[in-house]
Structure 1
Amino acid sequence: MNKNIFIVALLVISLLSCSKKEGSMVVQGTIQGLQKGTLYLQKIQDTIITSVDSIKLVGESSFNLVDNIKEPELYFLTLSDKENEKINFFGEKGTITINSKLDKFATSAKITGSKSHDLLQTYQEMADKFNGRRLEIIKESFDAQNAKDDELIEKLDKEFDRLVKNRYRYTASFSIKNSHSEVAPYIALTELFDAHISLLDTVNNSLTNKIKASKYGKQLDEYIKEIKEKEVK
């Protein structure tokens, strides 16, 4: 009887091993405080956010999700009862660990294991400083308008223009410096979409052949072509 139980146990373990999901990218981690819910691994396909894997969690907070990824690209981690809160991260081949908290699902996420995401975070830290100052100028300008301080309004308007230009320059410089990474065309598409075409051209021309042939490299090139076609018309 004991021998039969042992054989059955081995068969169960074997079946579980065979059914384990596999992929070139593994996303694992823990959502502290989560007791029940479905976690989705998503990405954009044909302009639509699509789930590529999911896991239903009951009485546990650890998860393991996978996808077969060819090149680094943006992914989302979404929880069933917090669909408006998404953890954005740049996925790539290998194991990526994401640890977060249920009550601060998106804002408390700690992501490790993706060099592409680390690079994006480096850019975002500086971008956040630009955004912070932009909001301050808007508030100061509003207060100046209420006080009818024309001199201060003019000064803040000039500072705002300089801030916008400096952000464009920094973004372009960062993309050019990291032209070997898929993050470069992604940043150009999301942060320089309304910049002068010459700036976009400069970034596009700096990309390595490998990155030009990537998903975001192709999208950037196509976007630039569309702008130029509209300018001709």
Structure 2
Amino acid sequence: MKKLLPILFALVLCACNDEKKDAPQGKNLHISGTVKGLRKGTLYIKKIEDTTFVTLDSIVIDGNPDFESYLNIESPEMYYLFLNRGETNSMDDKLLFFAEPGDIHIDTRLDGFFAKAKITGSENQKLYEQYLKLKSRYTDKNLDLIKLSAETSDPKKLDSLDKQHVSLLKRHYLYTVNFAVNNASHEVGPYVAVSELPDAGVAGLQYMDTICKSMTPKVANSAYGQLLKKYVDQLKEEQQEKASIN
């Protein structure tokens, strides 16, 4: 029995150390992570309100590259993690992530703050990364068309490339609509709609209205769900005004 006591005591200590810290009262979002290679600097967690970045929290890094923050979030929303490197500047100083209630973990590096980031704990983030992966195919193809257009002055070739560009754009819009409808129970659905479809021309209203009608009540009441509904109502009103004038 005497031999077992030290072992039992050690197990109790391990169990205590492994216990998750209770979140501060009124906070439903825990963000933690590591910026490997960072020794000094400041991290800022921000979001956009009325086209302006608003700082939600700031974390000073001094020797330890680990960080954490407790926040309150009403509904899933896109947040930004900014890095102020102190004495050195870099264009690679921010990454965006889909925040939602719960525990979100961000692992990244100083030499690849955005490109090497791995974000876990958010279902909306996981779905958004899937969307971006497929969207990149359209982006790459579009860059190829732009390059080919710059390399020729043949009117027929330019006309053909222009038609390919229009066709590619339509496929991208339809992919976005299908993604949003298929993920109507997640806030990422209306988010991609309001961020990707406003420049879709006349068809944009039809696309966004379809997404609006597919949203679940929970998503419809979220920040992006309400934003999408407001935008669709505004477009419908503008169309009615134009029709009455004509």
Considering the TM-score relative to the shorter chain, is it more than 0.5? Answer: yes
Which amino acid is 1:29 matched to? G
Q: Which residue of 1 aligns with 2:52?
A: 48
What is the rounded CA distance, in whole Å, between the counterparts of 1:119 and 1:74 in structure 2?
Answer: 13
2: CA distance, partners of 1:21 / 1:43: 21
2:173 partner amino acid: Y
Report the Cα distance in structure 1 between the residues aligned to 2:63 and 2:99, rounded to whole angstroms. 27
**2:121 aligns to what?**
113
Structure 1 counterpart of 2:34, from 4, 11, 30 = 30
Tell me which amino acid in the other structure corresponds to 2:111.
D
Counterparts of 1:101 and 1:153 in 2: how far apart (Å)?
Answer: 43
Mapping for residues 203-218 of structure 1, pairs under 5 Å: 203-218=211-226
Shift in Å at residue 50 of structure 1?
1.2
C-alpha distance in 2, partners of 1:37/1:210? 39
Within-5 A mapping of 1:30-179: 30-81=34-85, 85-145=93-153, 149-179=154-184
Q: Which runs of 5+ in 2 are unaligned?
A: 1-20
Q: Does 1:180 align with 2:185?
A: yes
Measure, in 1, the Cα distance between the counterparts of 2:206 and 2:104. Answer: 36
TM-fit CA distance, 1:165: 0.5
TM-score when normalising by structure 2: 0.81
Which residue in the other structure is 1:3 paired with? none
Q: Between Structure 1 and Structure 2, how many residues are aligned?
A: 213
- Paired position in structure 2 for 1:14: none
1:145-173: CA deviation from partner (whole Å, max 9, x where unpaired): 2xxx2332222111111100000111001
- 1:39: Cα distance to partner? 0.7
Q: State the Cα distance separating 1:175 from its structure 2 match.
A: 0.4
Secondary structure of the corresponding residue to residue 144 of structure 1? coil
Task: Provide closer, same or farther for how the CA distance between residues 114 and 188 of structure 1 changes in structure 2, counting only shifts above 3 A.
Answer: same
Shift of 1:230: 2.2
Distance across 1 between alignment mates of 2:150 and 2:81: 37
Give the letter aligned to residue 44 of structure 1. Answer: I
State the shift of 1:21 in Å.
5.4
For residues 220 and 192 of structure 2, what CA distance do their matches in structure 1 show? 14
* Unmatched tracts of structure 1, length 5 or more: 1-17
User: Identity over the aligned pairs, expressed in percent?
Assistant: 38
Opposite residue 227 of structure 1, the aligned amino acid is L
Cα distance in 1 between the residues matched to 2:78 and 2:176: 18
Q: Does 2:208 correspond to 1:200? A: yes
Matches of 1:162 and 1:98, distance apart in 2: 37
Query: Which deviations, in whole Å up to 9, do the C-alpha atoms of 1:116-138 show, x marking residues without a partner?
Result: 10001111111111011001100
Deviation at 1:229, TM superposition (A): 2.2
* Structure 2 counterpart SS, 1:108: coil
CA distance in 2, matches of 1:185, 1:83: 32
Alpha-carbon RMSD across the aligned residues, in angstroms, is 1.9
**Counterpart amino acid of residue 52 in structure 1:** L
Q: Deviations over 1:90-148 (max 9, x none)?
A: 01111111111112212211111111100011111111110110011000111122xxx
Q: Which residue of 2 aligns with 1:11?
A: none
The 3 A distance-change label for structure 1 pair 83 and 50 is: farther
